[in-house]
Amino acid sequence: MDTKELLKKVRKIEIKTRKLSNHIFGGEYHSTFKGRGMTFSEVRQYQFGDDIRAIDWNVTARYNEPYVKVFEEERELTLMLVVDISGSEFFGTSEQFKKDTVTEIAATLAFSAIQNNDKVGLILFSDQVELYIPPKKGKSHVLRIIRELIEFQPKSRQTNISEALKFLSNIMKKKAIVFMLSDFMDDDYERTLKIVGNKHDVTGIRVYDKRDEEIPNLGMVSMMDAETGKTQLVNTSSKSVRTHYKANALRLSDYFETTFTKSGAGTISTRVDESYVRKLLGYFKRKG
């Protein structure tokens, strides 16, 4: 992709997602994700009705009259976007690839965060961590994140969600808001997710295509595994083949829902031909 085309794509996503974050998600994001707690601001003279537990006894003794500590909400937070860029994300039978929907959702969340003066970081992963951008503030930083989401080419096409979660756990020492975006065509990440969920506010966003869940009867079809590159003939007219395909898809989606819920994390599932705006807004309202 040449620079001109890339900038055009970045601008298109910026216009769409900033509009969403300005008019819809900004306030919802702020009310859903509270600050880390209360931080000391100043001392002032005691006034009638003040909580005596807030009295600063050292200052009171120094000035021989009562003073209280004043606290305010520590608002600044860190948003981490953990995004799957494995081969299966480059699949879509509707208007766009799963990767395109993931990019739009990630950009909307990022703009909502910087509206609230929060930092935003990015982890791109396949079966390894492909790219890490440390959390920072500002529009130019978010635009860099969008550029990477659009054009980054992974070394591997396979998926390992557990590896991404381990990396996140090692680099993020303070509590963060974590959104993991993937089709979650992987399992065996329950233990790692539980560790991350104990420390961070985690939400999994499953973005999938209707053909991830079932295949139509099209006779003998040549199919390629997007993550291994292997091609094989599949008899889609066979009911048992279609049933097995659907059962495996349901197993993975159930594993996603169950594992995230057990770990105290939130879940959103949205198909590429559905409105992710409605799904996100509903989630924020429930969580807030």
Domain boundaries along the sequence of the chain = 3-32+76-287, 37-74
Q: Both tokens of residue 202?
A: 């985690």
Q: Are 126 and 86 in contact (CB under 8 A)?
A: yes
The larger pLDDT score, comparing residue 181 to residue 22, is at 181
SS3 assignment, position 58: helix
Identify residue 216 by its one-letter amino acid code. Answer: P
**Sign of CA pseudo-dihedral 257, 88, 119, 165:** positive
Mean pLDDT score, 228-244: 89
- Model pLDDT, residue 72: 55
Fold of 3-32+76-287: Rossmann fold (3.40.50)
Of the candidate ranges 29-43, 123-137, 245-259, the one whose mean pLDDT is the lowest: 29-43
The larger pLDDT score, comparing residue 104 to residue 52, is at 104
pLDDT averaged over every residue in the chain:
88
Q: β-strand 119-125 against 177-182: which pairing, if any?
A: unpaired
Identify residue 28 by its one-letter amino acid code. Answer: E
Is residue 225 pLDDT above 70, yes or no?
Answer: yes
Confidence bin at 124 (pLDDT 50/70/90): very high
List, in sequence order, every residue forming a beta bridge with 271; answer none if it has no partner: 208
- Residue 10's Cβ-side half-sphere holds a number of Cα atoms within 13 Å equal to 20
Q: Any residues with CB less than 8 A from the CB of 180 and at least 6 apart, and which?
A: 82, 83, 84, 161, 164, 165, 202, 203, 204, 205
The larger pLDDT score, comparing residue 99 to residue 116, is at 99
